[in-house]
Structure 1
Amino acid sequence: MPAFRFIHAADLHLDTPFAGMSGLPDRLRRHLQESTFAALGDLVDLAISSEVDFVVVSGDVYDASESSLRAQLRLQEAWNRLACANIPVYVIHGNHDPLSSSRLRLSLPRNVTVFGGSRPESATAVRRTDGQPVAVVSGISYPTAAVTENTALLFRRDPASPLYHIALLHANVDGQEGHDAYSPCSLKDLRASGYDYWALGHIHKRQILSESPWVVYPGNLQGRSLKETGPKGCYLVEVDDNGETSLHFRELDHVRWTELSIPIGELATEEAWKERVEERMEEVRGDLSGKTGIVRFTFTGRGPLHALLQNGRGGHDLLAELQRRETGRLDADASLPLHSVVWPVGFKAKTGPDIDRARLAEEDSFLGELLRLTDRALSSGDLRDELVDTALTPLMDNRHLRELLKSLGPGERRELIEQAGALAASFLLEEDMRGGSD
């Protein structure tokens, strides 16, 4: 088998609007809105500089079914650059950009193959240097936005072909939490197909589910929210003449979303808290190496600052001050590189009062019973769900809130229980203190 290399990318989500990001300076907002296109440009640069034989893209090229003309023109420009370098591209469409989308149909260069949506289609990929066939690339697009059948079962390797077999599929393997169950399948299904490499899309977290065969989610090219933290990019895949495969992750994101945790146990004063936040901001600034940082701080643990963080006023003021400073840096120097900017997008408190919780939980008191109930709810999924559903029932009359609340996962429900227990305990302790001082 001739050796070859290719790039596996997915979930480009071109022209993501980044809605809901309030307070951003105009220059930073434009940079954020341009980031998906910048990541696409770097993908093309990587393909050309690495002299890959072809590129596969496993769905959700666009962010919305009614994709903007700008997104289509920028994609056409990228594909044309690859055409000039004689690099073929094999593409499927996913739930965000199904074949039924009502967008303008711009012509694609001849190097681009878009697989249809009725059944898996195949094409033979060749090595660029000598035209030798190296792989059979197969794929199936979403004909509509919601594909609920197991389309993985439609893929079967050609037993007569000695070539390396690659399957492009936009799917949720083994029901991964937090993602729509579109094209649901199991790892067992993929292994039974006989393919050498499953080039997956749909899950935005980079994962290698199997190495025999290779079953790979590269994640998306550019993080788009605090649910998509850490490095984002694609895989450069090398296959040697024995069919042995090696994967190399390449970062392509221009904006890096980060969650930072700060324990409050050792922070006795507001000044110490402010300084710790500023220190972490500068640590992020030093680590980004050419990327813009979007950061949310989560405060954890128990300590005297709990009340300040829970009432929200202190956190709101410090957040506004940090944002003002970053805005001032941008306004003061129009040439300031955006990769030196770290924008704090929010504070989140997961703290508790500075108390001996274990002792209080043993007391024969209302507070003790509250703490024991919180512990039981955290250890019992049924009780947790019952308490959360009961508490949220008054909000279910609002259609938008109802859809949002239905999407709450176990982790988010657990977090609600923790926060409610800590907040209720704080109120009860404050009442006790006021009563004791009268």
Structure 2
Amino acid sequence: MPGESFRFIHASDFHLEAPLGDLDAIPHHLREAMADAPRRAAKAVFEAALVDNIDFLVLSGDLLNPQAAGPHGMALLLDYFEKLNAKKKPVFWVAGTADDPQKWPEAAPLPPNVTLFPKNKAVAIPVERAGRTICVVVGRSSEGRSTLHVPSYRIDPTDEYTVAIGYGSSDADALKEGRFDYWALGGKHNRQQVDGGAEGAAVYCGSPHGRSLDEPGAHGYSIVDVDADQTTRVHDVDCDVFRYCQVEVDAAEIAAVGGIRNLLGERIVRLQHDHGGRHLLIGWDISVSSGESLHAIGDSEELLQWLRREYGSGTPAAWTASLVVRPPKHYPKSWNDEDTILGDFLRAAEKHRKSDARGLNLSPFTEEHSGIQSTTSSLLADVSPAAREDILDQATLLGVELLRGGKPNLVHES
């Protein structure tokens, strides 16, 4: 027998306690918008849930840390919960690690339409409309695990459409063991659909707003439509105000367009077109093929300031949050063969790079600086293999630029 069609919103990972990151400087004209961006994105989710054709709201974790977000963040949630309660719209909330139910103050009770699921067991709740059950929602708040424990979600078999809400990483093989129609997942800040994880769909809807260059691209929430035959359709809705973009550039591209500034300018115009008029926070990752191609980039500090001056003040703005110039792996053989300080330096750098020594000990360089804390000194004394190569590459680039009489092209990032 066919059921009833319905629609709900799936959102997660608001992190109302966390500001935008990867910013070493904030332009005056964007300061207020940057400060308010996470709240504006969260408000967009709730405003969408208040629309008449939305039956209920699903929240899959990490909305806020009450202590860190303070009254301002809690008031946003409670105000919208009350508005949804006035429209008799249920809210189903599975807590993650930031919004542990034990952190929620007893002095701020949740309205009756909000179900905050317990941590110790999964609970199944029927959702009714006009006296008829349209689906069953199953949820369990996180116990602090990094992975979702699917076996704990077992419920009695039902013919109703089932929505399971969970927090934590998982894969298709684990999720499909639950045999649910829709998995509303949280704990990942970028959108991801897990193919084969559920009868209808298994979705990490991501955060309504990105917070760093590690969270590039569109952010928002999901609207889920279920028809009378229990066919599921998921629609992604963007609500971010600022959008992080990580852009890689190499020496060949620079040469092809006649200069680094031409190339970066063209990329910015394209990004602004692709991202629909939003403010952009851009991280540039620039690679050079050899020491000789460094001149194509010039002074990276001047390049950073030029980008911010030319493109960071517009409406919308394209603000450069980070500019990284990757050191070349090879320098001209003629430089290496020189009977000069530069030649000696390059040969010494190459020797260190090929060394089989266990680590790179930088602690002797701190001996003349008594103000350096012991924690810092201990970190310098044992550099990890992963960081060792990068440090050597950066040190070689710095030495080459100084010995050749130019300004060093250092990494500039927040």
TM-score by length of 2: 0.77
CA RMSD of aligned residues (A): 4.0
1:8 aligns with 2:10: yes
- What secondary structure does 1:162 align onto? coil
Give the equivalent residue in structure 2 for 1:332. none
Q: How many residues align?
A: 381
Residue identity in the other structure for 1:164:
Y
Q: Which residue of 1 aligns with 2:167?
A: 170
1:244 corresponds to which residue? Answer: 231
CA contact (8 A) 2:13 2:60 kept: yes
Q: Is the 8 A contact 2:13 2:63 kept in 1?
A: yes
Counterpart Cα distance in 1 of 2:107 and 2:93: 15
Is the 8 Å Cα contact of residues 67 and 103 (structure 1) preserved in structure 2? no
Query: For 1:417, which of 375, 379, 389 is the aligned residue?
Result: 389
The CA deviation at 1:285 is 2.8
What is the match of residue 152 of structure 1?
150
Partner Cα separation in structure 2 for residue 425 and residue 19 of structure 1: 28
| Secondary structure of residue in 2 paired with 1:40 | helix
User: Which residue of 1 is the match for residue 41 of structure 2?
Assistant: 39
Cα deviation for residue 283 of structure 1 reads 2.6
CA change 1:103–1:226 in 2 (3 A) is farther
Question: Cα offset for 1:343?
Answer: 0.9
CA deviation profile, 1:316-347 (whole Å, cap 9, x unmatched): 12212332345655xxxxxxx5xx11111110
- Secondary structure (helix, strand or coil) at the match of 2:137 reads strand
Change over 3 Å in CA distance of 1:119–1:393 after alignment to 2: farther
Structure 2 residues without counterparts, runs of 5 or longer = 337-343, 367-372, 406-414
Structure 1: distance between partners of 2:308 and 2:127: 50
**Alignment partners' CA distance in 1, 2:377 and 2:13:** 26
Question: Which residue of structure 2 aligns with residue 398 of structure 1?
Answer: 375
Residue 122 of structure 1 aligns to a residue in which SS? strand
User: What SS does the corresponding residue of 1:100 show, helix, strand or coil?
Assistant: helix
> 1:17 deviation in Å?
2.6
What's the CA shift for 1:137? 0.9
Provide, for residues 208-247 of structure 1, a one-character-per-residue CA deviation record: whole Å limited to 9, x for no partner.
Answer: 1133513221111100111100001112111222222121
- Deviation track 1:339-392 (CA, whole Å, cap 9, x = no partner) reads x111111101225278689xx9xxxx9979988997x99xxxxx9xx96xx237
Q: Secondary structure, in 3 states, of the residue corresponding to 1:12?
A: coil
- Calculate the TM-score normalised by the size of structure 1: 0.74
What letter corresponds to residue 12 of structure 2 in structure 1?
A: A
8 Å Cα contact 1:270-1:305 kept in structure 2: no
SS in 1 for 2:58: strand
Aligned to 1:107: 109
Choose from 117, 120, 123 the match for 2:122.
120
Q: For the residues of structure 2 that align with 1:133 and 1:392, how far apart are their CA atoms?
A: 67
Residue 82 of structure 1 and its aligned partner are, at CA, apart by 2.6
Deviation at 1:97, TM superposition (A): 1.6
- 8 Å Cα contact 2:148-2:166 kept in structure 1: no
Residue 209 and residue 393 in structure 1: after superposition, are their counterparts in 2 closer, same or farther (change >3 A)? farther
Work out the CA distance in 2 between the residues paired with 1:372 and 1:253.
48
Contact 2:126 2:137 in 1 (8 A): yes
Partners of 1:51 and 1:317 lie apart in 2 by 53
Distance in 1 (CA, whole Å) between partners of 2:378 and 2:166 is 32
Alignment pair present for 1:132 and 2:132: yes
Following TM superposition, by how much is the alpha carbon of 1:117 offset from its aligned partner in structure 2, in angstroms?
1.6
Aligned counterparts, 1:28-427, within 5 A: 28-49=30-51, 51-63=53-65, 65-101=67-103, 103=105, 105-127=107-129, 130-142=130-142, 146-147=144-145, 151-159=149-157, 161-173=158-170, 187-213=172-198, 214-267=201-254, 272-302=259-289, 304-306=292-294, 314-325=299-310, 340-352=316-328, 390-391=359-360, 398=375, 413=386, 417=389, 420-421=392-393, 424=396
CA separation of 1:391 and 1:135: change in aligned 2, threshold 3 A: farther
Q: Which amino acid aligns with 1:53?
A: D
Aligned partners of 1:401, 1:16: CA distance in 2, in Å?
Answer: 30
Residues 58 and 170 in structure 1, CA contact (< 8 A), matched pair in contact too? yes
Deviations 1:409-433 (A, max 9, x none): x9xx48x736745864896799899
Q: Deviations over 1:184-216 (max 9, x none)?
A: xx5433222222222111111211113351322
Pair 1:263–1:327, CA change in 2 (3 A): closer
Shift of 1:100: 2.3
When residues 300 and 191 of structure 1 are mapped into structure 2, their CA distance, relative to the original with a 3 A threshold, is same
Pairwise CA distance, 1:148:
6.0
Alpha-carbon distance between aligned partners in 2 of 1:38 and 1:3, rounded to the nearest angstrom: 30
Partner of 1:380: none
User: Does 130-139 or 297-306 show the bigger shift?
Assistant: 297-306
Name the amino acid aligned to 1:7: I
Unaligned runs of 5+ in 1: 174-185, 330-336, 378-382, 434-438
